[in-house]
Amino acid sequence: MAMPFIDPFGRAITYLRVSVTDRCDLRCVYCMAEDMHFLPKRDLLSLEELDRLCSAFVRRGVRKLRITGGEPLVRRDILSLFKSLSRHLDAGHLDELTLTTNGTQLARHAEALAACGVRRINVSLDTLDPAKFRTITRWGDLDRVLDGLAAARAAGLAIKINTVALKGVNDQEIPDLIAWAHGLGMELTLIEVMPLGEIEPGRIDQFLPLSLVRSQLKQRYTLEDLDDRTGGPARYVRLRETGGRLGFITPMTHNFCESCNRVRVTCTGTLYMCLGQDDAADLRGPLRASECDALLEQAIAEAITRKPKGHDFVIDRRQARPAVGRHMSVTGG
């Protein structure tokens, strides 16, 4: 294996998140506008190109690979990509192949994902109230997601529920979500809403600081800080009363940039060195310019030299505009 990519601050890039599509079968209010304009399919990297791109990163030290979207499981023939990438698990060059999903397609794909070496998944779910779920997702069916979770558990997949904390929407439901998730042996991670993309509800109205949530939870639970790291930005506690693990992702109130080991590639081959910055590099051009990966690796290496120390996320209360204009679904999870 070649030397890993190292950014200007000495951080090795060991975690790659790759979006395979900007499309999704839901329209969550904090993620997408209701009337989204999706990319034409001709602009997307083929599954073979995505495999080649991911493999280039694995050769240079990436140990964790997360497939994202949009909703990754709506991409046609997506299981063939998982099956192909699983060779890096078999060879010992990759520690984890996983995905983030909204759960709507899990009932169909859970067993196949497990067969491809996926051992753990993240499922985005913000409420257990069917009516509220439909409101948040604009048209989603909660039962379909719950069926998908049951299928994933039956397939032996470890599950982490990702919940975006939304002021006035699900803030009072967080203890119920914790009890439900931990009762089924699943983890739960709470996430602060991030200022990406123009959406109909204002970020100011949605934003709920997790420092406040944590303070409220301490009145009900005994929170024991953990040193656990899963390669991502979450900080974890153990709830003594449930025995389960609870994560906090706090890009707004306590950023996690000092240990950032991650980069993101979109479904069009655009590399973002930071979720909260607009600087990006085109990898599709060098990928298609040569069957040899030398140009691709050169482009990646040059881009990593521009990885910033941290992001610029801020809720702009004066102008109520996002810190970054692109939607989360464009960058990928």
pLDDT, tens only, 200-226: 555 567 789 999 999 999 999 999 999
Bridge partners of 73, per DSSP, are none
**Residue 108 among known ligand-binding residues:** no
What is residue 38's predicted lDDT score, i.e. its pLDDT? 85
Identify the residue with better confidence: 318 or 114: 114
What is residue 333's predicted lDDT score, i.e. its pLDDT? 56
Mean pLDDT of 56-60: 97
Residue 1 counted as domain residue: no
Question: What is the tens place of the pLDDT at every residue in 164-193?
Answer: 999 999 999 999 999 999 999 999 999 998
Confidence band of 194 (pLDDT split at 50, 70, 90): confident
Residue 10 counted as domain residue: no
**Residue 274 among known ligand-binding residues:** yes
**Residue 31 among known ligand-binding residues:** yes
Question: Smallest Cα–Cα separation from 304: which of 7, 3, 50?
Answer: 7
Mean pLDDT of 62-91: 97
Identify the residue with better confidence: 183 or 34: 183
3-state secondary structure of 206: helix
Residue 229 counted as domain residue: yes
pTM: 0.89
Residue 237 counted as domain residue: yes
Residue 219 counted as domain residue: yes
156 and 118 in contact (C-beta within 8 Å)? no
**Residue 267 among known ligand-binding residues:** no
**Residue 100 among known ligand-binding residues:** yes
**Residue 263 among known ligand-binding residues:** yes
**Residue keyed to tokens 């993240």:** 122
Domain that holds residue 129: 15-331
Portion of the chain with pLDDT greater than 70, in percent:
87
**Residue 61 among known ligand-binding residues:** no
**Residue 264 among known ligand-binding residues:** yes
| Residue spans of beta strands (DSSP E) within the chain | 15-19, 64-68, 96-101, 120-124, 158-165, 187-192, 223-225, 235-239, 245-249, 262-265, 270-272, 280-282
CA distances from 39 to 42, 127, 226, 267 (A): 8, 29, 41, 9
Mean pLDDT of 33-39: 80
Does pLDDT of 161 surpass 50? Answer: yes
**Residue 36 among known ligand-binding residues:** no
Does pLDDT of 318 surpass 60? Answer: no
What is residue 73's predicted lDDT score, i.e. its pLDDT? 98
Q: For residue 280, which phi and psi values (nearest 5 degrees)?
A: -150, 165
Confidence band of 309 (pLDDT split at 50, 70, 90): confident
What is residue 323's predicted lDDT score, i.e. its pLDDT? 47
**Residue 203 among known ligand-binding residues:** no
Mean pLDDT of 72-80: 97
Residue 5 counted as domain residue: no
What is residue 201's predicted lDDT score, i.e. its pLDDT? 53
**Residue 194 among known ligand-binding residues:** yes
* Integer Cα distance of 116 and 259 in angstroms: 30
Residue 54 counted as domain residue: yes
Lowest-confidence segment of 22-31, 77-86, 137-146 by average pLDDT: 22-31
Residue 4 counted as domain residue: no
Q: For residue 50, which phi and psi values (nearest 5 degrees)?
A: -60, -40
**Residue 153 among known ligand-binding residues:** no
Question: Smallest Cα–Cα separation from 251: which of 273, 229, 276, 268?
Answer: 276
Domain CATH for 41: 3.20.20.70
Does pLDDT of 326 surpass 50? Answer: no
Structural domain count, the chain = 1
**Residue 270 among known ligand-binding residues:** no
With vertex at residue 49, the alpha carbon angle to CA 44 and CA 52, rounded to the nearest 5 degrees, is 145
What is residue 322's predicted lDDT score, i.e. its pLDDT? 46
* Integer Cα distance of 295 and 124 in angstroms: 36
What is residue 317's predicted lDDT score, i.e. its pLDDT? 47
**Residue 116 among known ligand-binding residues:** no
